[in-house]
Amino acid sequence: MSPTLLLAILLATLLALGVNALPADNATAYFSGLEASLINNGLSGLWNVIVVANHTETGPDLINKLYSDDQFTIYAPNNAAWETSGLSQPPANGDLVSLLSYHIVQATLNSSTDIAPIRHHTIAFTELRSPTVDLPGDQTQVIVLETAVNATTGQDVNDGSVLVRGDNWNATSAGEQFVYENLHIQPVDKPSPLLKTLSQSGLAIAANLGANLAISAISSAGLNDTLSAECHGCTFFIPVNAAIDGAANFTGLGDDEKRNVLLNHVLNGSTIYSPDLSPGNAYITSAGMPLIYLADDQGKRFVSVGQYRASILRSDIPVSNGVVHLIDTLMIESQNNHDRADSAASSASSEAESRTTTTNVIGIGGTHAPTQTSSSATSSTATATSTQAESFALRRTMSGDVESVMKVSIIALVLGRLWI
């Protein structure tokens, strides 16, 4: 049976049920327009990835989301990026869908106005949900953004250039951001090494970033399972190697004291990114002691446990089960309060489970409080035509389940000429 005949049967069925079906020509026009827009802006490789992802089990659900009233920002690797990464002919599998998902943010981020300046971060929740993401509640994996800097002066370039920050990599904007209907599309110069970095726990990532001595200490203390497999949404303050080398008095502690010291560097049940860290705030560590966040007038940031204080050298390194912040000092606080630690972890986990932050952006323009995307970002979408607005209005008449089936079916026809 031909796809056209199948589509006609489905339309007739929906009409018989009294459902206002989404006109097929709207979907055709939307994705045809998206294809043309991407190709015209040197992003035919991304269109190819979308087409290939549509032939996977989970890809149609992701692609279906784009054709909606929601606003998205896509950090789109250009053609050279796909080629140099060996993905010019990508495999049709779940890993490709995960990679694509990590480049899609359900929010509007204007590259010129909404990205945090250097030494600050904008944290945006992507569409990535996968078995490798072990965060609480409905939270998805985040993408970390900041304004790009001039390589010579080290200052903001103030031209809408953006950095996407990873563990030991950066992707840089490659061309101006442009708008297609409900999509803000920012070309970048590489696809993130997502499958390498985000499948690793906080411990593995920290070891790769010059903190292997701290990870060895964690392993020797028997805390690998506690801080990896059992830590669902945690914040890790991990000392770099020089900090461990300079902590001679740590080696003389007993096993229980060493465990307490290391647990006093972890917040259990809370994934706290740098824009959410407010000066003077106290958090309870996994050993039950207060950890205080501080900042000075020069913008330097610190954490303190007991009498010890450590500078934050690098913040906001996303990992599969939380976030890593690298610090310059091992805080040798060996006291504990297990009841307080358990209570704090339970409270944090409960709060995180109930939060719905996936459509929020933290740190718009360098602010420190969680916020929705700014009005300046959303105003640029006013270029949509009245025809597009009518198309959106038609979509809103659909009922949820039938709408999803219908849209996925139409998308499959448009992209792959397969009935999925």
pLDDT in tens, 172-224: 999 999 999 999 999 999 887 765 655 666 677 777 778 889 999 999 999 98
- Quick one: DSSP state of residue 149? B
Q: Which helix (H) or strand (E) holds 183?
A: strand 183-188
The pLDDT value recorded for residue 118 is: 84
Parent domain of 302: 202-354
Instruction: Kindly indicate the confidence band of residue 19, based on its pLDDT and cuts at 50, 70 and 90.
Output: very low
Please indicate, yes or no, if residue 420 is contained in any of the structural domains.
no
- Three-state DSSP at 109 gives coil
Q: Give the residue with greater pLDDT, 377 vs 165.
A: 165
Same domain, 283 and 150: no
CA distance linking residue 43 with residue 157, whole number of Å: 24
Q: Which of 308, 323, 354 is the last residue of a domain?
A: 354
Is residue 362 domain-resident? no
- Mean per-residue pLDDT for 149-160? 64
* Assigned domain for 268 exists: yes
The count of structural domains within the chain is: 2
Q: How far apart are the first and last CA of the chain?
A: 14
Give the per-residue pLDDT at 399: 41
Q: Which two tokens stand for residue 384?
A: 């949509």
Position 273 pLDDT exceeds 80: yes
Q: Pick from 190, 202, 1: which is nearest to 86 by CA?
A: 190
Q: Do 92 and 232 have their domain in common?
A: no
Average pLDDT over the chain reads 79
Claim to verify: residue 300 and residue 393 sit in the same structural domain = no
| Look-up of token digits 């600050």 | 120
Q: Are residues 371 and 322 in the same domain?
A: no
Residue 67 and residue 210 share a domain:
no
The sheet with strand 170-172 has its strands ordered as 170-172, 162-165, 142-147, 122-125, 361-362, 370-371
pLDDT of residue 351: 76
Give 229's pLDDT tier (boundaries 50, 70, 90). Answer: confident
Q: What is the mean pLDDT of residues 375-389?
A: 31
In a domain, 143, yes or no: yes
Give 66: exposed, middle or buried? Use CB within 10 Å, 0-12, 13-18, 19+.
Answer: buried
Domain co-membership, 371 together with 403: yes
d(CA 164, CA 317): 11
Instruction: Give the residue among 381, 24, 393 at the shortest CA–CA distance from 180.
Output: 381
At residue 366 the predicted structure's pLDDT band, cuts being 50, 70 and 90, is low
Summarize the confidence of residues 245-254 as an average pLDDT. Answer: 89
- Judge if 181 and 142 occupy the same domain: yes
User: Does residue 231 lie in a domain region?
Assistant: yes
Most confident of 51-60, 160-169, 353-362, 399-408: 51-60
Residue 9's pLDDT is 52
- Whether 387 is covered by a domain: the verdict is yes
Residues 286 and 332 in one domain: yes
Q: How confident is the model at residue 372 (pLDDT cuts 50, 70, 90)?
A: very low
Per-residue confidence at 332, pLDDT binned at 50, 70, 90? very high
User: Average pLDDT, stretch 258-281?
Assistant: 92
Q: Report the CATH number at residue 345.
A: 2.30.180.10
Helices 400-415, 59-66: axis angle to 10 degrees equals 100
Candidate from 53-67, 154-168, 256-270 with smallest mean pLDDT = 154-168
In a domain, 360, yes or no: no
Residues 277 and 334 in one domain: yes
Same domain, yes or no: 298 and 331: yes
- Same domain (yes/no): 224, 193: no
Residue 26 has pLDDT above 60, yes or no: yes
Which tops the pLDDT comparison, 159 or 28?
Answer: 28
b/e sequence 99-133, b meaning 16+ C-beta within 10 Å: bbbbbbbbbbbbbbebbbebebbbbbbbbbbbebb
Asked whether residue 359 is assigned to any structural domain, the reply reads no
Question: Are 402 and 292 contained in the same domain?
Answer: no
Q: What is the pTM of this model?
A: 0.81
